[in-house]
A and B are shown apart, each in its own frame.
Chain A
Amino acid sequence: MVVYSFYIFDRHAECIYKKKWAPRPTSTGSKTQQANGLADGAPQPKALSAEDDAKLVFGTIFSLRNMVRKLGGEDDRFISYRTGQYKLHYYETPTSLKFVMVTDTKTNNLRIVLHQIYVSLYVEFVVKNPLSPIEHPGGIGVNCEMFELGVEQFVNASLMS
């Protein structure tokens, strides 16, 4: 199982944290797109800047979430979606924080993992840290050492195994 990237969006629709592990494969690079996703040599066609990437991800989950609510009622929510190339896992807190993880298609549902990142990393190290601001325009304060380390360990331990 491979984790490609991880994002957190706040209630102002801003991406306050992003981290990339392996580049996400794209269909045009399919010949080199082995499961490890680390195949450098293959130039990534129309590589998006990190910001554009985050914006696209947000746009997608925002529309999807609203559509799901329209179809399935106010309390319905989407959990993940899968394409031919990747799977996107989604968890939204009652405070409208959105946790997103993009992995390879074989990965099981990660909603619980995202919830755990919220509960035991985000709340403990970002929210409770008085030296980190309350809101995080531009991501300030989320990228503190303890949170970074935690995410890294979390992904290594519980996902890469």
Chain B
Amino acid sequence: MTSAQGLKSLPQANMAASSHQPSAVQRAPQQLRTPSNRKTIYDRNLNRTRTAELSRASFAYLFGEMVSYAQKRVTGIQDLERKYHIPDAHNEWSRVWAYCIANHFLRLNEQGYPLGLRLLPLLLYREPPRTSVRPNRILPLLQFIHGPFWRHLFGRTADAIEHSSTANNEYMISDNEPLVNQYISVPKEMNQLNCAAYVAGMIEGVCDGCGLKAAVSAHNGGTEMWPGKTVFLIRFDEGVIEREGLLDAKK
């Protein structure tokens, strides 16, 4: 269940590019050159772009290139097996197919992760002081993702939060029409594919940033009314559940 561990230590932790975090800026001994008019990130108000808008199409094109790029690169097969428990390994063709799909997921998931991690402190910083607290329990965390986090990125809250009736550590957040999938028409033979894996990665980043480790995946949950409905399955680590139990018992 906690098989996505391999993802966490992934890329660019050491890259400053696009660092949005208000704190923890490391200045190496050698200073970066800056223009004399001081157009640097330190001279800008962090809230400057809070309500700024760009065209949805420009996101769609960037995201699209990201999806094709993710499709082309291959990562270790073991990672995939751990994360997706690819079932009928005896059928060579379906295995190859499954790998392609899973690989695709994995890369998108990976790319969303740092976004979640970075947005968390930024969004908290912008909350009014009283609510500007990092969620440290499961429910407030899910509410934060469902509410402020979703609203900031997609202009509305997510559509539902549910607790799995079968597995205690599993929660689901669903979105009836994910913005990231707006222009994506998935061919029938690839119906397991859901590019909202990118958003799943973001959720994973937020959970991790709050110290509540979880593996998050995006699944198609289309219904008659909402054919594009996507369910984000959040599986918390056993340790998280254990701690939750202890905290509840203390009350």
> Which A residues are closer than 8 A to B by beta carbons?
124-125, 128-132, 144-147
Contacts and interface: CB of A to CB of B under 8 A. Distances in A.
B57 interface: yes
B64 interface: yes
* Count class of interface residues, chain B: 10 to 19
Nearest to B64: A130
A131 B188 contact: no
Query: Nearest 6 A-B pairs (CB), nearest first?
Result: A130-B64, A128-B183, A146-B185, A130-B67, A144-B185, A129-B185
B183 A129 contact: yes
A58 B188 CA distance: 32
A145 B60 contact: no
Nearest to A126: B185
Contacts of A124: 183
Contacts of B89: none
Interface in B183-208: 183-188, 190, 195
A15 to B, nearest CB: 21
B167 to A, nearest CB: 32
A131 B63 contact: no
Contacts of A131: 67, 184-187, 190
B65 interface: yes
20 contacts: A124-B183, A125-B183, A128-B57, A128-B64, A128-B183, A129-B183, A129-B184, A130-B60, A130-B64, A130-B67, A130-B184, A131-B67, A131-B185, A131-B186, A131-B187, A131-B190, A144-B185, A144-B187, A145-B187, A145-B188
A121 to B, nearest CB: 11
A131 to B, nearest CB: 6
A59 to B, nearest CB: 32
B136 to A, nearest CB: 37
Nearest to B182: A128
Interface string B197-221: 0000000000000000000000000
Contacts of B63: 130
B68 A130 contact: yes
B171 to A, nearest CB: 29
User: By CB atoms of chain B within 10 A, which of A131, A145, A146 has the most?
Assistant: A131
B162 to A, nearest CB: 29
A48 to B, nearest CB: 30
A145 B187 CA distance: 7
Contacts of A145: 185, 187-188
B183 A130 contact: yes
Interface in B159-196: 183-188, 190, 195
A128 B184 CA distance: 7
Contacts of B195: 130
A128 B187 contact: no
Interface in B31-72: 57, 60-61, 63-65, 67-68
